[in-house]
Amino acid sequence: MIAALIIKELRQHWLVMLLLGFLLGVGFLLLLLVVLLTEEGSLLEALRLFLQTFVVLALLVLCHRLVVQEYQGKTQLFLEALPLARWRMVATKFLLGLVLIAAIVSVAFGLLLLAGQRGEVLTGRFVQIVAARVYAYLLCVYAFFFVMGLLGRYRVALYVVGILSVAFLETTLKVELARFGPFALLNEQFAYERNVFPVTALFVTLGLAAMLIATAFGLSLVREGSVATMLAERMSHREKVFVSLLVLGFLVACSVHDEKTEKDPFEMPGSVAKEQSGITVKVTSVGKSGANADQRLAEVVWTELDALRQYLQLSELPPVFIVLRGDLDGDRYERGELDGAEGVLVRANFTSTDWNQQDFLAWLVREVLVVASDERLLWEPRRWVLDGFALFWANRATLQTADGAPRTLVLRAAYGAQLGLKREDLDTWLAYRQRVGDEIASAVAWSGLVWVARTCGEAQCQQFLRAVLRTDIPSDVRGWWYDRRHPWPLLLQQTCDVAPEDFTRLWLAYVAHWQRETADELSGVPRLDGALHFEALSPMTYKAVYSLTADPVPPNGRFQVLHGVLAGLDVELPRSQVACEDLDFTDGPHGELPGTFTWSTRLYWTYAVRSEVLGCDVVSGWRCQEVRP
Amino acid sequence: MMTLARKELRSMRPFLTLAVFIPVVGILYELLTGLPHMRPVASTVGEYAASGWESSILVFVVFFSLASGLLVREYDEGTIEFLDALPVSRVRIFFTKFLLALSVPFVLIVLDISTVVLLQAMSHNSLHDTFHWGFLATALMLRMCQALTVLCLGLALSFFRRFGWLVVGLLFWAYLLLQESLPAIRVLNLFAITAPKYDGLAWIVPWRQVWLQLALSSGLLTVACALFLGAGDRLLRSYHRLTNSLPGRAALWIGGASLFVVAAALGYQMIERYEEEEEGVEVPGTDIRIVYPSWSTSRATTQHYEFLYPNNLEGRSRQVITGADEVHERVREFLDAEPFTRIVVDMTGVSAQHAGRAHWEKVRIDLTTSGDADVLRAVLGHETAHVYLDRMSDSRLLDVFDSTRFFHEGVASYVEYRLLRPAEDIQALWSVAAVMRARKQVDFDELVNNERLSARLDTDLVYPLGEVFVEAMVEVYGPESVGRTTHAMARDDAPRGLSGQELWRDVFQACDYNLETVIDRFFAKLDEQVAEHHDFIQALPRVRGIVNIEHGLITVRADWQTLEGWQPVCRFRQAEDTPARQYIWGDDWDGEFLCHESSFPDGVCWYQLGLSDGKGRVIYEPWNKVPVPTWE
């Protein structure tokens, strides 16, 4: 009777099986050629790819024919009428499909062993290991599709949930599925492991296969097979809605769940630390500056941050890690990549003779605030306050002195005003920064805060800064809402009782006063202007020709062209990606940049001159320019 | 007609729900997990307007599934009879279904683009002051074009029922296969069309791809329509007639078997042809092709290796085999590793890419790369180090290869040059690192991200830079640090999913080492090398490329001040993520390098110039790209 059942199956599906065999054969040959062309280390790689791709697709088809169609068409009822136990009928179907697919895979395996003799050492153990992997995997995957076939109307939903679960486990929960059971059997060692059986993976896979087979028989035998018959029926509309909602619910759960990777908090072995009152500062110079010097720096930074926290009433500050980087200039600092919650990693050359602690602290305070606020404080409409605050904080002691503010900052602010400063520049602060340069813009912003402190009182200014530089606002849509509802003019009015119009009018007048006062000194600081144009070397390739106008001529006779290529739709580049050409003005203000530029490349550039009077670079203004003739 | 449309919309409801649901989740994610007013258009187009590989695959699966059931469901469920009873022609039914099916991708893409617009509206500032409407419109058009092709393919293959997926699998692998030898096949790449290529601020429309894929879509749509109109019925009836008669069945069997024989013969032919080509290896940048006839292989076993080698190179092989165990021991002792059973060394092949390659417990060495036994033994040591590193890290290094490749190659190069080669050999390697440092091209973030390094500069820089990193590590923490960090990779409690510097910080921290200290030493060592190779760096000219595109040819002329012993080389690629083996080497015509324009259907050609000393040392300039006209 079993033979008759097999003949019936073959008669019913012979063409499908033939077609399947043919397609699998073609697929296998394709994979073999890909493996040969890509110079993989073993031809058996083709078998791994074959099992991962075509065999899975073939099983989908095969189980659909053997199981789904039988139950959906209710033809199994005829079979049940035969004098044959139901389990035998299911077992026959199961084994028939398994034997067929195993035969195809065995042919592929055998061919590869034959073909691989020249470049493989085919020991018995090696072949056994590969065979164990292949057939255990095949059994498990086949059993899976067989069970899915018996699940009838729910199988599509379960496929969707299954695929999403795999993606969710891998990406969000960081579960390594590649090291689990059937996936591990087909890992990168598949074609190369010659000695060790993947025992755990084999047991897991076979266990899984056993469970799936038991499930398959359970489904098809329970209540005289009525469960499988019922499942095979099409879904009602209500069921469709219910299952869709279930799948969508699962999708939402997957999307919302965002579990962080659990890892040890960042540490710096060998560093000296100052940890107190919830503020952590760690410094390491690898013995280059000595433990005492490291400790001193840690103390200074800690003191500064503690004062900052009290001044701004911040609930917490991220830990700060300072690392010596001998190859950096003394006035260049770099932020390392750290997850926001982990802290601020800073690279600086604090053993350099150019090291300026106050300058570093101003930079660091700003970075700490940026990290503490999840970068919310970088939002343009209130960015000027952040930029100004870094200098304001570093030079806060001068507020109480009779002779006033640091001269270099006054000069920078006056220079910034000289280049043109309007009320609107506060709203378009990023554009203003590009126009005058970061250091000049920061000094201009600083002058605004100095005016507030001197005119309205330091306590009011502190209230204003506390309100603007809050870091406890949630970093989500509520942060946007808060920022929209609390613009700086409103906060200024509330805390200092100054109307925004009055503030800008009086402040601009204040800076204009500085401008007049420093006119003589500023007359020596060059104002830069210039252009960059492109001359064709070919229709696609151009050279960049610069021409700088500096009034007066740069005192030290040198100037720089800073430039970089913008990617995508970007409008600015981090300083680390900007190339610098250091040039002699006496050689002429015109010349060519090294390299060629292709049509439509977007160049981000400016001229810069070091001003000793201002203690910083002055720029002609950053520009984005497309390479066009 | 409206009733029909309503009925179709009802049946498409799950897909439409999905098309709304996916972008809505995206918007919610943006609003709930980040600051939406810090997301200007430049930072969101890659995620929402354009479509990368992963999202393209998702799109493919969804739209193909939609198309798979759209027409044949009517046959399978017997509802085609009811539709035929309606006063509407089948053509109308077909196009109603098709047009309504197009609404699914349209809704999805429009909502995706709306996400970009919404976030830009919230993030608008003085620098990011435009919505880039033209760019977004191009994104909409190209993504719709992609969706259209997928839908048409699905409709045409839907009559194969589930075999359609197998056919797609075959088409996919056939494409991958052809891509290895026929770069122009990229014109058929469904996924490349939605990866943005920039011409200034505009998205270059790859018209050649668009027209070809639209033409393909029309063809597929016609096939699907013909099948739906009745050809499918007739085919089905013919098939049933055939299977119901003995001669018919016999004919099918014979036909099937013939097809199989033809496919097998074709496959055999291709393998044969490949084997013939394999015998010859082209030396990049020259006309030289090394060819040697096929010989039978011999085997030799030592304490730690099992060698396979061609008989015609027995002398050279013997030289490698002698002393192989000594090489093994030196590597093993350096890495402080436990020995394990023999490593298989296959020396029967030749490779256009590598002198050697390691795969878990197997190593392949190309004996034709050098006649010097010391060099070949050094290569063996290099590859043995790879095998041990993978084994010691329980293949974790391979799991995150993008982040660890510099370390893998760095350790292997350290072993090769410090333990197995004469001391002076390392100077050539270091000189490359020194040039890169002097040109300010070394960025540690990039070194721990192989994809980025390959995209911008040169994937082979992991050898010199990785070696210097390992030197720095050994100097700071001693030789045992290499083994310790490798073992730390495999620790059970290691957090998963880390990459780049985050991964290395965790590994170093687990060993009680400070990564920053090693990075500091790494740059200090590079600066030492810059001083050491100062004269070489000064003498080495920069190479500028002058590009022309005429008569279907892309020409790159190397503009450089000649230096004795050095020659310019140029290579091309289709995209930033093109694997190195698919780079196209430009034919050299008196310092001009040529390549066919048709190899770049995306509308962008990447080229890279470099200088080669002819002894394996090549110093490359960063990759450049030029827009290629696609409207011809």
Average pLDDT along chain A: 87
Average of per-residue pLDDT across B78-92: 86
Distance CA B104, CA B9 (A): 10
Residue of B41, B274, B514 with shortest CB distance to A37? B274
- Taking contacts as CB-CB distances below 8 angstroms, the residues of chain A near B344 are 120-121, 194
Per-residue pLDDT reduced to its tens digit, A406-455 = 889 999 999 999 888 888 999 999 999 999 999 999 999 999 999 999 99
pLDDT exceeds cutoff 70 at A57: yes
Mean pLDDT confidence for B29-46: 93
Give the pLDDT confidence score for residue B291 in this predicted structure.
Answer: 47
Q: B200 and A541 in contact by Cβ < 8 A?
A: no
By the CB < 8 Å criterion, does A537 face chain B? Answer: yes
B132 CB neighbours in chain A (<8 A) are 569
Judged by average pLDDT, the poorest of A492-501, A504-513, A615-624, B334-343 is B334-343
Is the separation of the CB atoms in B468 and B529 below 8 Å? yes
Which residues, 6+ apart, have CB-to-CB distance to B571 below 8 Å?
B284, B583, B584, B585, B586, B607, B608, B610
CB-nearest partner of B495 from A61, A262, A347:
A262
Q: pLDDT (tens digit, 9 = 90+) per residue, B179-235?
A: 888 889 999 998 999 999 998 899 999 999 999 999 999 999 999 999 888 777 777
Identify which of A121, A189, A264 has the shortest CB distance to residue B509. A264
> Which 3 state secondary structure label does DSSP give A379?
coil
Q: Return the beta strands (E) in A63-153 as ranges.
A: none
Record: contact B495-A261, CB cut-off 8 A = yes
* Cβ neighbours of A266 in B, within 8 Å: 505, 509
Alpha carbons A547 and A542: distance in angstroms, whole number: 16
- Does B360 have pLDDT greater than 60? yes
Unique residue bearing structure tokens 């069921």? A239
Q: Higher model confidence: residue A341 or residue B301?
A: B301
Name which residue leads in pLDDT, A141 or A589: A141
Confidence of residue A249 (pLDDT cuts 50, 70, 90): confident
Q: In terms of Cα–Cα distance, which of A86, A71, A62, A65 is closest to A138?
A: A62
Interchain pair B37, A483: CB under 8 A: yes
Tell me the three state secondary structure of residue A457: coil
B559 token code pair:
């503009």
Share of chain B above pLDDT 70, in %: 93
Question: Is a pLDDT exceeding 70 seen at residue B299?
Answer: yes
CA A526-A532-A533 angle, 5° bins: 150
pLDDT at A264 over 70: no
Residue matched to tokens 């505009």: B202
Cross-chain residue pair B500–A337, CB shorter than 8 Å: yes
Q: For residue A272, list its beta bridge partners.
A: A283
Average confidence (pLDDT) over A486-496:
95
Residue A90 confidence (pLDDT) above 90: no
Nearest CB to A119; choose among B177, B349, B624: B349
- Is A245 a residue whose pLDDT tops 70? no
- What does the alpha-carbon distance between residue B350 and residue B371 come to, in Å, rounded to a whole number? 14
B290 falls in which pLDDT band (50, 70, 90)?
Answer: very low
Among candidates A178, A248, A264 on the partner chain, residue whose Cβ is nearest the Cβ of B506: A264
Contacts of B270 in chain A (CB under 8 A): 29, 33
The total number of residues written for chain A in this structure: 629
For residue B297, the distance in angstroms to the closest alpha carbon of chain A comes to 7
Q: Do B125 and A602 touch (CB under 8 A)?
A: no
A136 pLDDT above the threshold of 70? yes
Q: Mean pLDDT lowest for which of A168-172, B73-77, B83-87?
A: A168-172
Cα–Cα distance measured from residue B172 to residue B191, given in angstroms and rounded to the nearest whole number = 11
What is the rounded distance in angstroms from the CA atom of residue A375 to the CA atom of residue A382?
12
What torsion do the CA atoms of A251, A255, A256, A261 make, to the nearest 10 degrees? 130
Nearest alpha carbon to residue B177 among A58, A21, A35, A109: A35
pLDDT at A308 over 90: yes
More confident residue, A212 or A231: A212
Best-predicted range by mean pLDDT among A160-169, A316-325, B194-203, B462-471? B462-471
Q: Is A160 on the interface with B (CB under 8 A)?
A: no
Higher per-residue confidence, A182 vs B496: A182
CB contact under 8 A, B361 and A195: yes
Is B288's pLDDT higher than 60? Answer: no
CA angle A353, A358, A361 (to 5 degrees): 110
Of B132, B306, B361, the CB nearest to A192: B361
Distance CA B207, CA B76 (A): 39
The pLDDT of residue A127 is 94
Task: Say how far apart CA A364 and CA A304 lie, in whole Å.
Answer: 10
Rounded-to-integer distance, Cα B21 and Cα B37, Å = 23
Output the pTM of the full model.
Answer: 0.88
**A174/B496 Cβ within 8 A:** yes
pLDDT of residue A262: 52
Nearest CA in chain B to A263: B495
- Is the pLDDT at B91 greater than 80, yes or no? yes
Q: Which of residues 100-129 of A touch B (CB under 8 A)?
A: 118-121
**Residues B170, A23: C-beta atoms closer than 8 Å:** yes
The tokens for B87 are: 């006063």
Instruction: Choose, out of A14, A28, A30, the residue to mutate when testing the contact with B (most B CBs < 10 Å).
Output: A30
Sort out which chain B residues have CB atoms less than 8 A from A604's CB and list them: none
Over its C-alpha atoms, chain A yields an Rg (Å, rounded) of 36
d(CA A225, CA A219): 7
Q: Say if the Cβ atoms of A286 and B264 lie within 8 Å.
A: no
A10 contact B CB<8A = no
Q: Which one has a higher pLDDT value, A296 or A404?
A: A296
pLDDT at residue B289, rounded to an integer: 47
Interchain pair A479, B35: CB under 8 A: yes
Q: Show which of residues 589-628 on chain A sit within 8 Å of chain B, judged by CB atoms.
A: 594-596, 598-600, 602, 626
Among chain A residues, CA nearest to B10: A237
Q: Cβ of B36 and A15 within 8 Å?
A: no
Residues of chain B in contact with residue A380, where contact means CB-CB under 8 angstroms, are: 125-126
Window A:297-336, CB contacts with B under 8 Å: 323-327, 336
Residues B380-408 have pLDDT tens digits of 999 999 999 999 999 999 999 999 999 99
Selected residue with higher pLDDT from B589 and A484: A484
A337 vs B306: CB contact, 8 Å cut-off?
no
pLDDT band, very low/low/confident/very high, at B275 (cuts 50, 70, 90): low
> Is there a contact between B126 and A475 if contact means CB atoms under 8 Å apart?
no
Q: Please name which of A623, A609, A488, A612 lies closest in space to residue A544, comparing C-alpha atoms.
A: A623
Give, for B483, the enclosing helix (H) or strand (E). Answer: helix B480-489
Which pLDDT score is estimated for A470?
A: 94
CA distance B585 to chain A (A): 17
Task: Give me the amino acid identity at B439.
Answer: R
Q: Residue B287 — very low, low, confident or very high, per pLDDT cuts 50/70/90?
A: very low
How far is residue A479 from each of residues A328, A369, A372, measured CA to CA in Å?
A: 36, 15, 13
Q: What angle do CA B186, B190, B194 make, to 5 degrees?
A: 100
Cβ(B197)–Cβ(B603) below 8 Å: yes
Does the beta carbon of A428 lie under 8 angstroms from any beta carbon of chain B? yes
Between CA A620 and CA A606 the distance in angstroms is 6
Which residues are CB-neighbours of A519 under 8 A, at least 6 positions away?
none
User: Per the CB < 8 Å rule, is B306 touching A121?
Assistant: yes
Per DSSP, the three-state class of A551 is strand
- Mean pLDDT score across all residues of chain B: 88
The lowest-confidence range among A66-75, A612-621, B66-75, B459-468 is A66-75
Closest chain B residue to the Cα of A178, Cα to Cα: B399
pLDDT tens by residue, A515-568: 999 999 999 999 999 899 999 999 889 999 999 999 888 888 889 999 999 988
- Banded pLDDT at A270 (limits 50, 70, 90): confident
Predicted local distance difference test score (pLDDT) of residue A204? 95
Q: Is A438 on the interface with B (CB under 8 A)?
A: no
For testing contact with chain B, the best of A10, A17, A26 (most B CBs within 10 A): A26
- Interface A:B, Cβ pairs < 8 A: 309
A365 neighbors A308 (Cβ within 8 angstroms)? yes
pLDDT at B351: 72
Confidence of residue B272 (pLDDT cuts 50, 70, 90): low
Question: Do B520 and A323 lie within an 8 Å CB cutoff?
Answer: yes
Nearest residue on chain A to B500, judged by CA atoms? A337
| Global ipTM | 0.89
Among A21, A26, A39, the residue with its CB nearest the CB of B170 is A26
How high is the pLDDT of residue A287? Answer: 63
What percent of chain A stands above pLDDT 90? 52
Strands B553-559 and B592-596: antiparallel
Judged by CB atoms closer than 8 Å, whether chains meet at B547 and A540 is answered as yes
Nearest CA in chain B to A568: B198
